[in-house]
Chain A
């Protein structure tokens, strides 16, 4: 266990939680006060914040990314994470404030009026203090929720304890998942007990103690939130940020790029944003939030070119492998100011994989063979497959109809097919588990699947600022073939080596 990393991630997690929780308090208590005075306002606010609660947390956080990039704000990292978490935490505090103020006994409300208090005096002197125990309970709930939800900030580029959980899930390292969960739980218990202590003092009318706890907690929180901002206020060289998607190969390649830069320039500041959503990575690249990433020619074609062609009612069949590379290099630079620094030399394509025994029994070698038996077979697919262009293309070319389809995490697909829970899976051709799980890849005999050559991408501004580093990275061209990549994935997925260590091994082999 790397304790520096644990410290960094815990602190980052704490910072996210505290910023979101405090911002949410500052927002919800005044809104709650306003709502308690007006039935229409309270209906509206409780309705809206209640609806936010019903949106799955991960989806809500992910929705912050396109929203912010549309508004021209930083779309990746802390900003969307804090905004999303903050909006989510409004509901419990808002409800507590409204309820707390509305339950102040009527005769006390009348007494504040009869004494000649202004609305403000009545709120500050009587209503809010009397509602405080309930408001604090709401804050406690919101804080605990936020600690849990902050683990979901990883896919949108904010470091948190979620990095352990997502990386662990993807690399099938369960102790890493457990580690992330336990640390987050401890953090939640710690923060909750601070609020509970404050609540106890309040109930026991120990005002001085109460003020001391709240004051110290607030000061400490502000310091934790503000310290890195102060540090970053001093001018320093901009960090080069490397964005990776969630799966093993991407984690290895992210580390490989970082190590390669450090080999060339040891003092170059880099940061790896791990386990980002697929579209988040490219969005980040075009909005200068991410400088370097690895993507695949077929993915880029389907994501960027096909929708445009469909709009213009043009055919969307991809050109051959080399033609596609040439086309994308030109297209990305002109349309998105993104450079292809290097084609890495391997291809990570979608492919149908079946258990060897089953393949032998049904004599399956090609997708055409599969199409004959598909109506009796069940497909296990990753989250995105059924929505992808490649699936439409496969269906059109081979007239494929499966008996059923089951969506599952890519990390679980391989076990599912080797245990016979599904018959066919949408495998990735570089996955090491194709060898270890004794699977057979079916040949795309009618060429329905585009080439998925791995490309090292860089945003144009970064290339202009770091021409020398960019030149160095170009030497990675054709440095990894399919066999090497599959073996590297195997080291992480099966042999439980770390992506960073595997990346070093790859670099040393060159």
Chain B
């Protein structure tokens, strides 16, 4: 469904992605793992056309990114950034209804007008909030500044669900949350994925998060793909020095934590 073929994206100021060849398995969650500046966010933003490749071909649903109408492409791909990026002047319900509203008057609406009546939109938004385990009667009329960090991210996820996207991109979605909330969000994401079966890319610098949510992983460092594959085999048999170091460090951390808590 998403295939990078020798894709490069360079910036005048440096950074970016170099010569990336990678296939994202359809219907699975793939984690893009790497330190900051490794180019993982750049690789993500190429998919919904927030950035355009400098070189190479990136195909989404078999069509090169360059040939997509950018607006059509973005409307069919969900996007959740780190801080949720909720619109502060809109209530929760208004934020969640917005993606359907912007389809109104579109030349080639993916949702037909009949399906896009105000009450239908309202019902769909309420349902999306239920899917992310938020009660719309309690939260629907709140403004973003009245929500906790975890609630904001739930709303941001709900906002992508209302147009039933086949692809959802998440850019460090849970990095700013406290550990317990992060854990709950990771569980929510896997639950939603099991129900809905979308293809998803999750950008994260945290290997533990990759293990918690993803089936596949691609490890990136300094703009290049280091290795990729299904998570279990990557964990059992890491090829690159970078991943070996990363896994060892994560293991150390969890052992350290376990000793401190006095568990065996």
Do A and B bind? Answer: yes
Interface residues of A (CB under 8 A from B): 107-108, 110-111, 113-118, 121, 125-126, 129-130, 205
The answer to whether B85 and A125 touch across the interface, beta carbons within 8 angstroms, is no
Partner of B79, one of A115, A118, A129, A205: A115
CB distance from A1 to the nearest CB of B (A): 48
- Beyond A107-B81, A116-B76, A125-B98: 8 further Cβ-contacts under 8 Å? A108-B87, A113-B74, A115-B99, A116-B75, A116-B99, A117-B102, A125-B87, A205-B89
Residue on A with the closest CB to B69?
Answer: A116
Partner of B85, one of A110, A121, A129, A205: A110
The answer to whether B88 and A130 touch across the interface, beta carbons within 8 angstroms, is yes
The answer to whether B50 and A115 touch across the interface, beta carbons within 8 angstroms, is no
Q: For the complex, what is the distance from the CA of A108 to the CA of B89, rounded to whole Å? A: 11
Interface residues of B (CB under 8 A from A): 48, 50, 71-76, 79, 81, 83, 85, 87-89, 98-99, 102, 143
The answer to whether B85 and A111 touch across the interface, beta carbons within 8 angstroms, is yes
Residues of B within 8 A of A113 (CB): 50, 74
- Given A111-B81, A114-B50, A115-B79, check contact A129 B72 (CB 8 Å): no
Q: For the complex, what is the distance from the CA of A116 to the CA of B99, rounded to whole Å? A: 8
- Given A116-B74, A129-B89, A205-B89, check contact A110 B102 (CB 8 Å): no
The answer to whether B102 and A114 touch across the interface, beta carbons within 8 angstroms, is no
Residues of B within 8 A of A129 (CB): 89
Residues of B within 8 A of A117 (CB): 71, 102
CB distance from A163 to the nearest CB of B (A): 44
Q: For the complex, what is the distance from the CA of A111 to the CA of B71, rounded to whole Å? A: 13
Partner of A115, one of B75, B83, B89: B75
- 28 sample A-B contacts, Cβ–Cβ < 8 Å, listed by A number: A107-B85, A108-B85, A110-B50, A110-B81, A113-B50, A113-B74, A114-B50, A114-B74, A114-B79, A114-B81, A115-B74, A115-B75, A115-B79, A115-B98, A116-B71, A116-B72, A116-B73, A116-B74, A116-B75, A116-B76, A116-B102, A118-B102, A125-B87, A125-B102, A129-B89, A130-B88, A205-B89, A205-B143
Residues of A within 8 A of B81 (CB): 107, 110-111, 114
CB distance from B94 to the nearest CB of A (A): 10
Residue on B with the closest CB to A118?
Answer: B71
Residues of B within 8 A of A118 (CB): 71, 102
Q: For the complex, what is the distance from the CA of A118 to the CA of B75, rounded to whole Å? A: 10
Q: For the complex, what is the distance from the CA of A274 to the CA of B241, rounded to whole Å? A: 90
Residues of B within 8 A of A114 (CB): 48, 50, 74, 79, 81
